[in-house]
């Protein structure tokens, strides 16, 4: 995804540094959809059709399969920053 956004060349050299707050400031945010928010997950699946497009399905318990799959909304803007509420 970072390559598609054109910012991968600015990544930190060490993997452990990729996830520091300094490395993500000004890059945008990733909003994960929690399992408890099943209505949101269902809306996302209706809109994006991930089962047909990438082979990810939603179980009756609103879990993603394959197990290591993740759904999120990514907002990329140079001025975006993480914050805590």
- Concatenating the DSSP letter of every residue in the chain gives -TTTTT-GGGS-SSGGGGGSHHHHTTT-EEEEPPTT-HHHHHHHHHHH-HHHHHS-EE-TTS-EESTT---EEEE--TT------
Give per-residue pLDDT as tens, 26-69: 566 666 666 556 677 888 888 889 999 999 999 888 888 998 88
Residue 65's pLDDT is 93
Single pTM value for the model: 0.53
């Amino acid at each position: 995804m970072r390559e598609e956004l054109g910012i991968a060349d600015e990544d930190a050299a060490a993997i452990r540094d990729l996830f520091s707050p300094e490395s993500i400031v000004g890059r945008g945010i990733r909003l994960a959809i929690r399992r408890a928010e099943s209505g949101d997950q269902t809306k996302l699946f209706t809109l994006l059709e991930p089962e047909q497009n990438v082979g990810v399905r939603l179980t009756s318990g609103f879990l993603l399969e394959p197990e290591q799959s993740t759904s999120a909304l990514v907002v990329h803007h140079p001025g975006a920053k993480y914050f805590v509420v």
